[in-house]
Chain A
Amino acid sequence: MTAKTLDLPKKSWLGLPALAIGLIFVALVTVYGWLFLHAESEMEVLALLVAAAIGVVAGTRSGATRNVSVAMNQHSGIMNAAIIGGVLVVIGLLSQEHFSLLMLTSVLLYLTAALGLNVQFGYTGMVNFAGAAFFGIGAYTAAVMTMHTGVPPLLILLCGGVAAALIGFVLVLPVVRTRGHYSAVVTIAFAVLFKTFLEVNDVLGGPQGLTVGSMSILGWDFNSSPTLFGVEMSFYVNYALLGTVLAAVAFMFTRRLERSWLGLTLDSVRLDETASACFGIGVTRAKILAFTFGNVLAGTAGALYGMMISFIAPTSFTFSDSLLLVAIVLLGGMGNPWGTAVAAAIVVVLPEKLQIIQEYRFLLFSVLVIVMLLFRPDGLLPRQIRTYIPGWRKQP
């Protein structure tokens, strides 16, 4: 798995500057995302999938994709703003549609959790098969705290992350002590234990689960429908907006982590623990950092998820869901947060849109992961060489 450097294309597509192409790309993806979330018949969905395939091939052939990467690196500020703008536009266009917004927000929250896993797995090489459990810890924390305390819900989100991190500390010792596959086994055991614990624990609602209070910020109740210019919108708009903020913040910190000495340390630990130690790198410290960072993201996302769906049960956070999170990281490309974003969208939305995938989704995603590992081990969007400061001294 060698990362690739970006060759700056000699001539850009249609002679346009890279930034223009980047912005056109974001606009296209925005429209596409809206159409896809909006699509109702399976025919529409299939047509959109074909369009995506054609778009990918055309983009690669014409060199436009290259220009998009260049734009991302050299104008990262503008591009990131444009992408967030794109998400906001999609939320606006779908503002009446409960189900589409629920899906969009789920993508954003799964993305947040998967970014955490990406730090653990993609950068540090620690496979975490308990991602959904940490997500669930956040959701259950939210349930208990919204119903039994007066803590402001925004703070409860953070508490969800902190709770996941604290419970993660219990696991961290065996995970850090064991190497490779054994640490994966520890997390599997934890994922199973977590679900069983919830099922037998009456205080936490047992198999029936718990009700979660809604999010509210300074009197703005997220479960009431907002109105804009006299038009009433779905209450999910609130959650979609906050989900966007959460995912954007998670993305920013994941990126900054990668583009720092700490990110370098995590890569070094993944690639060669012994050599790392010979250059003073604290292997255990690096692993604890990555594990905690990831669990905080998963827990925070889970807390908001719980508030959004307002009712949670042990079956919402199963081992299969943990597998889906791992699949997102693998599919997208280990260590590439953009890949994680693309994969999160595919894995969350596609099964909802195509009945056939819904029924066999675990089977299909397992096959997909195996096929990817065999034929495209670097994922849909392979990770690129670390650029610490994008655009610095014309570096790619």
Chain B
Amino acid sequence: MSGRLLEITQLSKRFGGVTALDQFEMTVNRGEILGLIGPNGSGKTTSFNVVTGIYAPSQGKILFDGQDITGFTPQQVYKAGVARTFQRSRLCLPLSILDNIMIGNYGRLSKGLWFNLINRRAFQAEFEEGFDQAQALIRTFSASLADRMFEPVGSLPMIERRRIEICRALISRPKLLLLDEPSAGMTHDETKQLMDDILDVRSRIADLSVVIIEHEMGVIERITDRCIVLNYGRKICEGTYGQISTDPEVQQAYLGAE
């Protein structure tokens, strides 16, 4: 289980005059859950956006699984084995639960015209396989969702949407899962349930690494193996929750930001 999966070095991202990431450094080990925390606007989401290729970095290097993925397109990053969720849930609301999860599995779907339009028998076989897979995955989160695969996502409450978003990311069996504030907009109890789900999934998928951005310190304490603290786009501290929570610079950053 040892070894580094993701290594970010000297990563900077500037938006005009704003430096969202400033010589940012982060390493994710295989199989660990890493917490990424920091005050509002400290660059957490930007770090995900740069890793997943939505933004090209202004500077720096990203190594993933031994491969240099700096400057990759989002599609290439996905193929390399990184999947994510978004801070503001970005599901396709008019589409069904099944549709949304299948989008996450795009890499494995057959995309030929002949296959999709003419050879419907082959399509049906692949469809059934995909359906069963998606249903089995969502069942690990919620049995009731698994029975409603053809319902539009837009009619579901927030916690269910978050679960679907995580399933959409997991269905492609990524090596690295990036979760951007999965508990945003949920109650305390819902957050706890969702974190149970995440821990459960991690225990069943060997070798899955997770980076989670989270504001609630209780959550961070409970589920992370290690944490990185960001402030003004820089890493200011790194360690277990116990170590970072007593760090004076971290306390200062949070107090200063409040």
Contacts and interface: CB of A to CB of B under 8 A. Distances in A.
Nearest to A257: B117
A116 to B, nearest CB: 14
A276 B103 contact: yes
Contact of B75 (A4, A264, A280, A395): A280
Given A4-B152, A385-B151, A279 B83 contact: yes
Given A253-B117, A279-B83, A260 B123 contact: yes
B204 interface: no
A5 interface: yes
Interface stretch (B6-14, B106-114, B209-217): B106-114
A396 interface: yes
B94 A277 contact: no
Nearest to B151: A5
B116 A277 contact: no
A272 B84 contact: no
Interface residues of A, number: 35
A94 to B, nearest CB: 33
Interface in A1-22: 1-5
A281 B74 CA distance: 9
B142 interface: no
Given A3-B94, A278-B74, A280-B107, A385 B83 contact: no
Interface in A225-246: none
A261 B75 contact: no
Interface string B40-55: 0000000000001110
Interface string A357-396: 0000000000000000000000000010111110010011
A383 B67 CA distance: 44
Contacts of A281: 75, 103, 106
B120 A279 contact: no
Contacts of B154: 2
A261 B116 contact: yes
B96 A386 contact: yes
Nearest to A261: B109
B117 to A, nearest CB: 5
B92 interface: yes
Given A4-B152, A5-B150, A262-B111, A275 B90 contact: yes
Given A257-B117, A385-B96, A279 B172 contact: yes
B73 A267 contact: no
B79 interface: yes
Contacts of A267: 92, 94-95, 99
A173 interface: no
B93 interface: yes
Nearest to B113: A262
A56 interface: no
B111 A261 contact: yes
Interface string A251-270: 00100110011101101100
Contacts of A49: none
Contacts of B150: 5, 385, 387, 395-396
A278 B92 contact: no
Given A279-B104, A279-B172, A387-B150, A3 B95 contact: yes
A280 B54 contact: no
A271 interface: yes
Contacts of B92: 267-268, 271-272, 275
**For the side of the interface on B, what is the size category?**
35 or more
Contacts of B116: 256-257, 260-262
B78 to A, nearest CB: 4
B208 interface: no
Contacts of A276: 103
A274 interface: yes
B74 A277 contact: yes
Contacts of B77: 278
B254 interface: no
Contacts of B52: 278
Given A5-B152, A280-B78, A389-B124, A264 B93 contact: no
B204 to A, nearest CB: 22
B30 interface: no
A215 B116 CA distance: 31
A265 B106 contact: yes
Interface in B13-56: 52-54
B117 A2 contact: no
Which of B52, B53, B83, B111 has its CB near the most chain A CB atoms (within 10 A)? B111
A274 B110 contact: no
Nearest to B127: A388
A4 B153 CA distance: 10
Contacts of B103: 264-265, 268, 275-276, 279, 281
B96 A256 contact: no
Contacts of A278: 52-54, 74, 77-78, 83-84
B126 to A, nearest CB: 8
A282 interface: yes
B155 interface: yes
Nearest to B178: A278
A264 B96 CA distance: 10
Contacts of A395: 150
A387 B53 CA distance: 33
Contacts of A261: 102, 106, 109-111, 116, 123
Given A267-B95, A271-B94, A388-B123, 10 more contacts: A257-B117, A275-B90, A278-B52, A279-B83, A279-B107, A279-B172, A282-B75, A386-B95, A388-B127, A396-B150
18 contacts: A2-B152, A3-B94, A5-B151, A261-B102, A261-B109, A265-B106, A267-B94, A268-B103, A271-B95, A279-B78, A280-B74, A281-B75, A383-B94, A385-B95, A385-B152, A386-B95, A386-B96, A389-B124
List 5 A-B pairs, minimum CB-CB distance, nearest first.
Answer: A260-B116, A277-B74, A280-B78, A271-B92, A2-B154
